[in-house]
């Protein structure tokens, strides 16, 4: 007879082995997060569990959204707090017609990006976008069209003179104005040149400063005041060494009465503005020219703080010639009446025989 198999003892039946919840959770977590969970449980108890649970929920990978494409202007030489400038190279584009007057239906949404006109080189222009809500002053062009004052001033000074950046075209957009400006193919801002070399030899600085004086005299003869002369607003053509005055966003028409509203860079403001909050355009221009010359030959601003401007203390390095120091002292005089005029600056001994390209 076959032997009877022994019956199993009474008791709970053994359950099938299955993965615990802890095993499933640990299988989904990376080793670094698993270590953090164990450390949190041991150190903070249930509070650590809740904190880590929140961290894990936030650390879940989110679906990557496709970035929205937006039109962007490339960085350019002319910058202003009222807009942004951008160079563009597209000589193959068609030459645009003159911008239509404001409010006309002919002003389309597609702006022109290039033009070869006069001595401006084909394929190298700069685009400057001026938002409409940043325009504070308006003017009238010779054809009767109403436009931002910067466009009106550029239209007066940018033709027939190489020392001022040329306004090739301008276009009115729904929310801004687009200025098409000339741009030499190989150019550099004067501020970038000073950043590389710190300061310039006196002879080289004399030639560049003479060009700036010529540009300022041209603007003054046209009845235009720049009001923001500084290295950042001067462009150097590396091929011809020709300087160009740019960015007339702070400019105004020349007037005989004193200005009671300041426009430009406060670090270049004259002392009479600090004392009395008023200044005359020509005297303030001579002051800014003196600051520019000091920056060229010394490599820094002579007045770092407002108190230094009030005291009027100017330190000159030993390598500067007495003639150059004399020009600086006259331009940076604390009293506006003691500063020379533009014509007197041209007749200074230090500026005689300056070669202008």
Hey, where are the domains in the chain?
Answer: 84-97+110-182, 187-351
Provide the 8-state DSSP code for 341: -
Q: Count CA within 13 A, CB hemisphere, residue 227.
A: 24
Cα(207)–Cα(1) distance, rounded to whole angstroms? 126
Using a CB cutoff of 8 Å and minimum separation of 24, what contacts does 298-306 make? Answer: 298/199, 299/194, 299/198, 299/199, 301/267, 302/332, 303/267, 306/274
Strands 146-148 and 125-131: unpaired
Cα(287)–Cα(275) distance, rounded to whole angstroms? 15
pLDDT at residue number 175: 94
Cα dihedral sign for 105, 108, 111, 117?
negative
Q: Which residue has the higher pLDDT, 25 or 170?
A: 170
Select from 157, 280, 167, 149 the least CA-distant residue to 214: 157
Q: Which residue has the higher pLDDT, 347 or 94?
A: 347
Query: Which is catalytic among the residues 117, 133, 228, 237?
Result: 228
Q: 40-66: per-residue pLDDT in tens? A: 444 444 454 545 444 544 544 444 433
Q: Which residue has the higher pLDDT, 108 or 36?
A: 36
CATH H-level superfamily of 187-351: Transferase(Phosphotransferase) domain 1 (1.10.510.10)
Phi, psi at residue 240, to the nearest 5°?
Answer: -110, -10
Q: What number of H helices and E strands is found in the chain?
A: 11, 11
Provide the 8-state DSSP code for 198: S
pLDDT at residue number 5: 56
Residues above pLDDT 90, as percent of the chain: 54
Q: Count CA within 13 A, CB hemisphere, residue 283.
A: 18
Domain 84-97+110-182 matches domain 187-351 at the CATH topology level: no
In this structure, which CATH number among 3.30.200.20, 3.30.465.10, 3.40.50.720, 3.30.70.260 belongs to the domain 84-97+110-182?
A: 3.30.200.20
- Whole-angstrom Cα Rg for the chain: 34
pLDDT at residue number 131: 95
Q: Which residue has the higher pLDDT, 126 or 11?
A: 126
Cα(178)–Cα(170) distance, rounded to whole angstroms? 6
Q: 296-333: per-residue pLDDT in tens? A: 999 998 886 655 565 667 888 899 999 999 999 999 99
Pick the range with the lowest mean pLDDT from 63-67, 127-131, 163-167, 312-316: 63-67
Q: What is the mean pLDDT of residues 178-203?
A: 93
pLDDT at residue number 124: 83
Cα(104)–Cα(110) distance, rounded to whole angstroms? 15
Cα(253)–Cα(263) distance, rounded to whole angstroms? 13
With a threshold of 0.75, does the pTM exceed it?
no
Q: Which residue shows structure tokens 């325009």? A: 135
Pick the range with the lowest mean pLDDT from 38-42, 144-148, 221-225: 38-42
Cα(297)–Cα(203) distance, rounded to whole angstroms? 9
What angle do the packed helices 281-298 and 322-331 form, to 10 degrees?
140
3-class DSSP assignment, residue 69:
coil
Q: What is the mean pLDDT of residues 253-273?
A: 91
Share the mean pLDDT of the chain. Answer: 75
**Cβ(251)–Cβ(153) under 8 Å?**
yes
* DSSP β-bridge partners for residue 172: 177
228 tagged catalytic? yes
pLDDT at residue number 322: 95
Q: Which residue shows structure tokens 């006196």? A: 202
Q: What token pair was written down for 269?
A: 């403001």
Torsion of CA 74, 78, 80, 84, to 10 degrees: -20
**Cβ(202)–Cβ(227) under 8 Å?**
no
């Amino acid at each position: 007879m076959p032997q009877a198999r022994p019956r199993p003892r009474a008791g709970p039946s053994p359950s099938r082995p299955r993965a615990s919840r802890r095993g499933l959770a640990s299988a989904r977590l990376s080793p670094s997060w698993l270590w953090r969970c164990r450390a949190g449980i041991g150190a903070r108890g249930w509070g650590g569990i809740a904190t880590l649970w929140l961290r894990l929920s936030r650390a879940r990978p989110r679906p990557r959204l496709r970035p929205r494409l937006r039109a962007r202007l490339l960085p350019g030489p002319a910058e202003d707090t009222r807009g942004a400038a951008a160079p563009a190279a597209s000589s193959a584009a068609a030459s645009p017609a003159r911008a239509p007057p404001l409010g006309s239906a002919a002003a389309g949404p597609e702006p022109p990006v290039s033009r070869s006109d006069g001595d401006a080189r084909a394929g190298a222009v700069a685009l400057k976008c001026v938002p409409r809500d940043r325009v504070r002053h308006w003017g009238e062009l010779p054809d009767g069209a109403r436009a931002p004052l910067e466009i009106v001033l550029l239209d007066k000074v940018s033709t027939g003179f190489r020392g001022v950046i040329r306004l090739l075209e301008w276009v009115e957009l729904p929310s801004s104005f687009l200025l098409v400006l000339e741009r030499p193919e190989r150019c550099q801002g004067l501020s970038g040149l000073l950043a590389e070399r710190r300061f310039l030899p006196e002879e080289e600085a004399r030639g560049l400063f003479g060009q700036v004086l010529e540009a300022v005299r041209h603007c003054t003869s046209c009845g235009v005041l720049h009001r923001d002369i500084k290295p950042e607003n001067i462009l150097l053509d590396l091929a011809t060494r020709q300087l160009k005055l740019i960015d007339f966003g702070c400019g105004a028409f020349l007037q005989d009465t004193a200005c009671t509203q300041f426009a430009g860079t406060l670090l270049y403001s004259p002392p009479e503005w600090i004392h009395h909050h008023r200044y005359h355009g020509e005297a303030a221009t001579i002051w800014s020219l003196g600051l520019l010359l000091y920056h060229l030959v010394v490599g820094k601003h002579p007045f770092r703080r407002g108190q230094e401007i009030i005291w009027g203390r100017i330190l000159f390095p030993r390598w500067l010639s007495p003639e150059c120091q004399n020009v600086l002292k006259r331009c940076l005089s604390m009293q506006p009446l003691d500063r020379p005029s533009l014509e007197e600056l041209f007749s200074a001994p230090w500026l005689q025989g300056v070669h202008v390209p």
